[in-house]
Each structure stands twice: as C-alpha cells, then as structure tokens.
Structure 1
C-alpha cells in the first residue's frame, strides 16, 4: 500500500481537500483533485499555495496539478479516495464513487460528524471504507486572491481507521501528520464535542481565536458539551482523549476565567487570528450548514436516551434561522444566543 505511485483522488476539493491534497502532491504523491466552479478555475489558472501555522509556505504551479470537475475522470483510476465533501453531499459522492470508482479502491472519510463513514459504507458495500478525523482548521484565501491559498490555521493532524497496511505511510507527509487509530468512533465523538463550537463562531461572526478567548462564548460551548456528554454517557459512548484535557474535563476548563484559561489552554488558543469555522463560511456564502450533522447528531442521541438539550436546541434553532434569513453570519452577542431565537 505504501507504493507512492498509487493514485489518490480528493473527492471534494474545498478547504480541507485542497490542503490535504496539496501536502500530498508536494510530497510527490500522485493526486487528482475533484472540485467545482471557482476552485477548478483557480487551480487550473494559477496553481495552489499551501501554508500552515508552523511556517511552511509552498506553491504548486498549475501544470503540476491534476484538477477536474468530472467524477469519472477523477475516480476511475483512483487507488485511494479521500472524501472531503460536506456532510450533506456524502450520499451524492457515494453515488459517484459507486458509478465511477474501482471495486478495489479504498475510501477514507475525512469529514465532520460521526456517521459519514457509515453512510459511505452502506452505499458502497463492495469497497473498503475507513473513518477518518481531521483535527485542524483550514482557511482559504478570499475570492479573487491569486493564487488560491489554503492555510492550516491550527495544530493537529489526521486520524484514520487502522487495518490497511502502508496507508499511513502513504498519507503521512510534511505538513500532514497522519496516524492510525483502532477507536475511530470514539475519536469522532470526541472531535464532535469541539465541533459544537462551529455554530458559535458562525453566530458570533468572530474569528475563532477571539471567540475562544471570551469566557461568555466558552460558557455556551461548555453548556453544549455538558449536554452532549450526558447523552453519550446514557448511550454508553465514551469519547476518546485526543489532545489536551480528557473530554469530561473540557466544560470545567472552558469555564475558567479568561486569564487562567489563557495560561492553561495555550495550545487551544494557538490559532491563526483569521481562522473561522466552516459553518461561518457556509452562512457567508448562503449555503446549508452542517448543523444537522453536528448539533443534530447530539439531538438525535438525546431523543434516544431522553436527555434534555436546552442549550443545543437553542443554538441549533438560531443557526437554522440564520440559514433561512440568508444574511450571512448574524453577529449575535453571547447574551443573545443565551436568550434563543426570536419569535416568529
């Protein structure tokens, strides 16, 4: 599997896909980017700039990139398919892989949420499907900036299911730390706890670092995590420890005064000052967010276990309201979020 000539398809080359694919291409891996619209045009015309919080800043010229908007072209010869589309497009991508992918291809879900690998596996029963988790934030350059840039704006790496010999060696390259885990479902639930913050970044219209530095917003995140942990405990789900404090300690750490949180959570705050969240970007572009795959996953678990979810229900309703309004991130205060959505 570690054969560096194997073809890797990036199935959904947005921010995460372009960063992952860019690092792999820079390391000499054979990469095909399946993208849409402006990203296809940007990569074909001006190439790709890949940078990160650790100081790397690298350029791939357009002639060195294989970019297409045709699923058949991207998937037909792929040995490895890294699925990086938003959760709402998982079933559509599964259909494309079923129609155009090889029957011996290995599919890896590098998506938010806890059940995208399961969805892919259900629709691709003949293929080996692995769960994955991306533990870092990626921001992309503003529309029209040349070249198109993707920047890893926080620390962290990628975790994938173990069991495929050589796959980690193939994917683990400079700027992209990859490790295998035997407890990916627990890892995904742990990542989901912190992904509950995506909605707060979107509602506040604040950069991630500024939002996390403010105790008023952290208290809202802590409340969501408390509710999620209660439902997970009732369901017998134990989230994995990934980095930093164990999951059960997160609410207490988040509720610390700003000065003490700043001392104890330096790694959590080591974020590019411009980093936001994908949910913020979705509201900015008038797109449907992943709220139903993040907060929604916890609410579904809560219904199964009879666990109250007042904070998560309130935040979910506010995101749905912002989606419907189509005015972008609403720029709410923490107090407004605590109060909940306005009456119809």
Structure 2
C-alpha cells in the first residue's frame, strides 16, 4: 500500500480521532475527519492544535483541514478507515461504512474494549477489518477554547493487526507511532486490564496521575485486575504485556507503598498531571460510558467461567448509577466503593 494518493478517513473525530488525524495530516497524508457538529464547527473556525508529552506543539489551520459532517463525503473516497468512535456507536458507524465506503477500503478499529473489531466484521461481511489498540490518553481542550486542542497525555505505540503491505508505513508518523502484533486478542485484553482504571478516575474525579499515586485507589484497581486475570486464566486467554510489566505482576506492583510504587512504576506515571479518562469526560458531558465494554467484558467472561468478580461488578454498578444521575463525576472516595462491597 503506497502512501501516495491514499486517503485516510477518521470515522469519529473525537479526542483520539482528531489527534491521530492531525498527526497524519501534518505528515502529509490525505485525511478526512468525519466529525459531529460541535467538533466540525470548531475545526472550521480555527483549525486543530495537537500537543504531546514530548513537547510538540503543532497547528493545522482550518483551510488545511478536510472535515466532513456528511458520512457520504467523509467515507466514500477512503482507502483506509480508522474507526475511533466509542464502543456504543460501533454498530451505527458500521452501518455508515457499509452504506458509503468503497468495498475495498481497509477498516481499522482503534477503540477500547476487546470485541469491536469482531462486531465490525460481523456487520461488514466481506470487508477487511483489522483490530487495533491505542495505548495513550488524549485530553481535549475545554469547550469554547479555540483552536481546538488535542493533547496526548501519555506515551506508547499504537498496535494494529497485520494487514496489507504498506499499511503500517502509511500510518506510522511523528506523534503517532504504529506497529503490528500477531496476537491482537492478547493485546486487547492486556489493554483492558489497564482500562479498568478508567472507571475509578470517573468515579473519583481525580486526575489520573493523582489517582494512581494514592494506594487506596490502586488497591481497588489491583483487586479488579485480580478478578479479571482469574477469569482470563479460566478461559485460556493470556493477556499481552502493555505497560512494561507482565500482567500477572500488575496487582503486586499496584499494591506497593506509595513511595516504592513511584520508583518502580515510573512508566505508568509518565502522564500529564491533568489527564483524566474518557469515561470521566463522558460522565461530565452526560453521555453513556464504555463501562459495558470494559468492566462488562470482565463480568461476561467471569459469568462464563464461574469465577467471582464482585469488585468489578460493584465498580460497574456505581458508574451506571452516575450515568443515570447525569451530574458528572460523583467524586467518590475509595471507601465508598470498598465499604459498599462489604455491605453488599
């Protein structure tokens, strides 16, 4: 797949989609951002600014961006489609791709959870769909700030399934390192173990770095990972190493005293001090979260294997309660989770 004259559609220009699309466009790739009205308006007014932990601060002016609110225009000429919508919107996006994209377009799922690529394959029969994983957080600037800014708040390489020759070279650009992996199921489960913390950030309202620096919260994350690992082992699934540690070691490291954790887990703590999780952002905006595709995936596996997952179930219930209340993050303390578990 030669880079020249290839068009990349970003199917869901939210935080991850805008960041990836901007990096690709800045590297000279032809990119079309399929955006909702709020993002579409902001991009057309003032362009898109992308920053990262490495100190890059780059701006694409509005007249240099190709933005489409119309799915037909955004998808019809694409050679590669990067699906970056939330898990709950996967089926809708599959319908748009089926209706408007060329049959030979390569579809790559860059979404949370472990099942989205399989869902896309089911709804896009006969098309080439590849699984992918984005390891880093992207923080979006507050509403009203122009130009719209997407800040990559942590590090890591995007991992995608082996695909057509040249695909990695097309996508691997400055600020968006991309590589392939032979076992994407293991990669996605490895990422999901870390994503179990998204809910804790959402429930606490704390920035990710501050939350991870507090052992009381890390104990809850460690307990969730223990439950997930038990369900995975019973299913014969071995998750891949994502954060530099073997998955089996994650709960042990998370349970270390704060001072020792800061020494051992420097890579895990290499994150912007203001970064939070996308689930926190969903609660703040009154949107459905991805709890069903994160904790829900563990609960589904635990039910099939008959392994206990009481802590994961408790965390999921609290997030769903916050979703229904639509008051943003409930700002819970760790004891509100653990005490509720004991009383339940």
Which TM-score applies when normalising by structure 1? 0.98
1:153 paired residue number: 153
Quote the residue 1:285 is aligned against: 285
Is 2:281 the counterpart of 1:271?
Answer: no
**Contact conserved, 1:135 with 1:156, CA < 8 A, in 2?**
yes
* Aligned position for 1:177: 177
Q: Distance in 2 between matches of 1:253 and 1:33?
A: 40
**How much is the aligned-residue C-alpha RMSD, in angstroms?**
1.3
Q: Deviations over 1:94-152 (max 9, x none)?
A: 00000001000000000000000000000101210000000000001000001000000
2:298 counterpart residue number: 298
Q: Deviations over 1:204-227 (max 9, x none)?
A: 000000000000000000000000
Distance 2:260 2:30 in 1: 46
Verify: 1:186 aligned to 2:195, yes or no. no
2:142 is equivalent to residue 142 of structure 1:
yes
Q: How far apart, CA to CA, are the structure 2 residues paired with 1:99 and 1:267?
A: 43
Could you tell me how far apart the structure 2 residues matched to 1:341 and 1:270 are? Answer: 31
Structure 1 residue 241: deviation in Å? Answer: 1.5
State the match for 1:334 in structure 2.
334
- Match of 1:227, SS? helix
Name segments (4+ residues, structure 1) moved above 4 Å.
none
1:1-29 CA deviation, whole Å, 9 max, x = no partner?
13232000000000000000000000000
- Structure 1 unaligned runs (5+)? none
Residue pair 1:283, 1:329 contacting (<8 A) in 2 also: yes
Q: Distance in 2 between matches of 1:186 and 1:61?
A: 39
User: What is residue 203 of structure 1 aligned with on the other side?
Assistant: 203
TM-score, with length taken from structure 2: 0.98
Which whole-Å CA distance do the structure 2 matches of 1:164 and 1:256 have between them? 44
Q: Counterpart of 2:317?
A: 317
Q: Give the superposition deviation at 1:340.
A: 2.8
1:248 and 2:248 equivalent? yes
Map Cα deviations across residues 189-236 of structure 1 (whole Å, 9 max, x no partner). Answer: 000000000000000000000000000000000000000000000000
Q: CA deviation at 1:341?
A: 7.9
Count of aligned pairs: 344
Find the aligned partners of 1:332 and 1:118 in 2 and give their Cα distance: 35
CA contact 2:3–2:29 (8 Å) conserved in 1: no
Q: Which runs of 5+ in 2 are unaligned?
A: none
Return closer, same or farther for 1:203/1:103 CA change in 2, 3 Å cut-off.
Answer: same
